[in-house]
């Protein structure tokens, strides 16, 4: 049993180390490349959609018909 416990600890340590390396590489690349730095968004305004009532939200949770007329509709 001690060999299995030792292997489990090694495996968990290996997993944590490789995950940390992947995170550090990803963060380093993102900081170096600066994605979206020169991105310019258009100056448009977005209208806020109307908030549905609580009863409408509850009624939309349950579908009217669970069997669609065609599988292509899904």
**pTM assigned to the model:** 0.51
Note the pLDDT tens digit of each residue in 5-19: 888 999 999 999 999
pLDDT at 46: 81
25-53: string of b/e by CB count within 10 Å (b at 16+)? eeeeeeeeeeeeeeeeeeeeeeeeeeeee
Note the pLDDT tens digit of each residue in 6-60: 889 999 999 999 999 999 999 999 999 999 888 888 888 888 889 999 998 888 8
pLDDT at 73: 54
Cβ-contact 15, 21 below 8 angstroms: no
């Amino acid at each position: 049993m001690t060999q299995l416990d030792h292997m489990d600890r090694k495996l968990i340590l290996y997993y944590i180390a490789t995950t940390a390396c992947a995170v550090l590489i990803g963060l380093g690349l993102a900081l170096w490349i600066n994605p979206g730095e020169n991105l310019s968004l258009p100056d448009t305004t977005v209208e806020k959609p109307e908030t549905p009532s609580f009863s409408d939200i509850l009624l939309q949770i349950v579908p009217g018909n669970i069997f669609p007329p065609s599988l292509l509709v899904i």
